Structure 1
Amino acid sequence: MTAITTPGTQQVGAEAPVAAPRRTRTYRRVLGPALTRLAALALVLGSWAAITAAGLVDPLYLPSPHAVWDAFVRANTRHQLAAGVDRTVIGEQNYFLWEHLVASLQRIAAGVGAAIVVGPLVGFVMGMLTPVRLITEPILNFLRSLPPLGYIGLLIVWFGIGDLSKIWLLFLAAFPPIAVATLSGVTGVKQDYLNAARSLGAGRVQVISRVVLPATLPEVIGGIRIATAFAWTTVVAAELNNGIPGIGGLAYIAGTQLNTPLTIACIIVIGCAALVLDSVIKFLGAKAVPWKGKV
C-alpha cells in the first residue's frame, strides 16, 4: 500500500528525516578532538607510571609521575630546608615556580616583542627593494643558521650576565624567522593582484596598504608563531648564566644537581606555557586575518 499525499499535507506512512540538532554536531566537533587528546595523554601517563612502578628505569633517569608532581608542589610552596632542620624556604632557589615562569615570560616578551617590531619592517623593506634584499639576505640567512649557544658567550662579554644579554639572545633567536616570513609574504604577492589594483587607479601607497600588507600579514603571523616557539627553545640557553629567577635557569640548575623530578617538572611547565602562548597567537591571528585561505 503506497502513501497518498495531497497538496498542503504531509506524507502518510513515511517518516520524515530528522536532522541532527546543530548543537549536538557542535559538541561532537569540539569534544571529539578533546577526548582523543585526553586519551593520548592518559596513555602516556599510564605507560610512564607502569614503567617506573616496574623499576625498568633507574629513578635518577626517569622518576615516577608522583615524584615529579611532588617536586612541582614543593617548588610552589613553603617547606622545610631539610628533615630535622627548623627553617622554611620559599619554593626553589628562594622563588616560587610561577615566579620563575613569570621572569622568563618577561624576558621573552621583551626579546620577541622587539623582534615583532623590527622583523616585519626589515622583511618588508627587503621585499620591496631588490638592492636591499641582495645585500641583506645573506646576513639574515647567516643569523638564522647560528645556534644560540654559539654566541651567548659573546653577548655576555658585550652586555654582561644580566637580563640585557638574555633579551638580546631571545631577540636574535626570534628576529630571523619573522623577517624571513615577512620577506616571503611580500615577494609571494601575486602579480595579478598588483596589476588589477593599478588598473583600477590605485597609487603606490594604496597598492602597498590595500594589497601587499593584507597579503603579507598571514605570513607575518606565521613567522611570529615560529619565532615565539624558537624563543621558548632558547630560554634555557639564555638563562644558563645568572638565570635565577627563570624557568630555564631553574631547569638547568636542577639538572646539574641531579634533581631529575624538578627538571622534568620545569620541562613540562615550559612546554605547557609554550602551548598556551601558541594557542593565543593562533587565535589572535585568526581574528586579525579572517580572509586567510579565502582568496
Structure 2
Amino acid sequence: MTALTTTRAILNPLTKPNRSSTAVPPIWVAISLALFVVIWHVASLITGPAIVPGPIAVVQTIVLLTVDPLAGLTLPGHVLSSLTRWGSGFLFAVLIGVPVGIAFGAIRWVREAFAPMFEFLRYIPPFAWIPLAILWMGSGQTSASFIVFVAAFPAVVISTQVGIVNVDPRLPRAGINLGAGRFRLITQVLSPVALPSVFTGIRVAVSNGWMAVVAAEMIGGTQGVGFLIIQGQENGDVQVVMAGMIAIGITGSLIDWIVNVISRRATPWRKSNDEQQ
C-alpha cells in the first residue's frame, strides 16, 4: 500500500462528494440580471443618457464595436489582446506560485529564509510596479504580463501555503510510517489534500490579475480593453467606456466560471462552503 493510497483511505470517510447542489438556480440568475438592467435603466432616466447611457444604447455600441474597429481593433480583438497578456502573466504566477507555496508550507528553512522578503514585496501594490515595468520593458505585452504576475502571484503562494499547513497531521505521519520520503510526502500526500486551497488562491489570482492587466493597459497600453476605455474617455464617449466595462465584467466572470468548473472536477470532495466562495 502506498502513502497516497493510505492518505485516500483516511480521507475517504470525511471527504465523500457533496451531493447537494450549491449552484445558483438559473431563475435567480435571470432575476438578478433583470434587476441590474432595471436599476441601470432607472439611473439613466434620472441622470440623463449623457452621464449614464441606457442599456439599449450600450448594447448598440457593443454591437457596433464588434464590427467597426476602434483604436485599431474591434471589441473582440481588444478583449483577446487583454486575455493574451493576462494569460501569460497568470500562467507564470501559477507555475511558480504553487511550488513556492508548497515549499513555504512544507520546508521550514525555505519559509524562514524567504518568507520575510515575500511578505515585504507582496504589500507593494501591483499598480506601483507599472512605471518600472514600462521603463524596463516598454509599454507592450511583456510589461502588462509582468504586472499580472505581480498581482496574481501572492494569492497563489499564500493559499497554497495555507493548504499545506492545514493538512491533517495524521496524513504525513501515515506517509512517513509507510516509508515515504520528503518528495513523495509532498507530491502524493500534502499536495493533493491542499488542492482545494490552491484552487481558492487561483480564483483570487484570476480576479487580481484581470484587474491588473486592465489597469496596466489604461496607463501604458496601446491595445486591450483598458486602452479602449481610455480612448472612450479621451473622445468623451461614455457609451464606449461602458461597453468596455461590460466586456471586462463578462470576460472576468467567464474566466472565473471556467476555473470553478475545473476546481470542482479536480476536487470532488470539496465542502459546499468551499464551492460557494
TM-score, length-normalised on structure 1?
0.79
Given candidates 7, 29, 48, the residue that maps to 1:37 is 29
Cα pair 1:173 1:231 within 8 Å, conserved: yes
Instruction: Give CA-to-partner distance per residue, 1:41-64, whole Å, 9 cap, x none.
Output: 1122123223423xx204332111
Given candidates 113, 125, 134, the residue that maps to 1:147 is 125
Q: Which residue of 2 aligns with 1:177?
A: 155
Given candidates 22, 44, 52, the residue that maps to 1:62 is 52
1:277 is the counterpart of 2:261? no
1:245 is the counterpart of 2:235? no
Q: Which residue of 2 aligns with 1:194?
A: 172
Which range moved further: 238-247 or 67-76?
A: 238-247
Cα pair 1:243 1:250 within 8 Å, conserved: no
User: Which structure 1 segments of 5+ residues have no match?
Assistant: 1-28, 79-90
Asked which structure has the greater CA Rg, the reply is 1
When residues 51 and 155 of structure 1 are mapped into structure 2, their CA distance, relative to the original with a 3 A threshold, is closer
Given candidates 208, 211, 229, the residue that maps to 2:207 is 229
CA distance in 1, matches of 2:225, 2:208: 16
Cα pair 1:178 1:223 within 8 Å, conserved: yes
CA distance in 1, matches of 2:103, 2:22: 42
1:164 is the counterpart of 2:142? yes
How far did 1:76 drift?
1.2
Cα pair 2:82 2:214 within 8 Å, conserved: no
CA distance in 2, matches of 1:131, 1:175: 21
Aligned to 2:117, the other structure's residue is in SS state helix
How far did 1:241 drift?
4.3
Q: Quote the sequence identity (%).
A: 31
Given candidates 44, 48, 53, the residue that maps to 1:52 is 44
User: Structure 1 residue runs of 4+, over 6 Å off?
Assistant: 29-32
How far did 1:252 drift?
2.2
CA distance in 2, matches of 1:218, 1:40: 28
- The one-letter amino acid of 1:164's match is T
Aligned to 1:233, the other structure's residue is in SS state helix
Aligned to 2:25, the other structure's residue is in SS state helix
Superposed counterparts of 1:70-219, under 5 Å: 70-78=60-68, 91-219=69-197
Instruction: Give CA-to-partner distance per residue, 1:197-254, whole Å, 9 cap, x none.
Output: 2234433333223211111222111111110111111122211245232011111221
1:262 is the counterpart of 2:252? no
When residues 36 and 127 of structure 1 are mapped into structure 2, their CA distance, relative to the original with a 3 A threshold, is same
Cα pair 1:143 1:176 within 8 Å, conserved: no
- The one-letter amino acid of 2:50's match is L
Aligned positions, number: 252
Cα pair 2:92 2:149 within 8 Å, conserved: yes
Which range moved further: 239-248 or 272-281?
A: 239-248
Aligned to 1:236, the other structure's residue is in SS state helix
- The one-letter amino acid of 2:114's match is T
Judging by fraction of residues, say which structure has more helix: 2
When residues 194 and 31 of structure 1 are mapped into structure 2, their CA distance, relative to the original with a 3 A threshold, is closer
How far did 1:31 drift?
10
Cα root mean square deviation, aligned? 2.1
When residues 32 and 138 of structure 1 are mapped into structure 2, their CA distance, relative to the original with a 3 A threshold, is closer
**Which structure is higher in RCO with an 8 Å CA cutoff and minimum separation 6?**
2
- The one-letter amino acid of 2:224's match is G
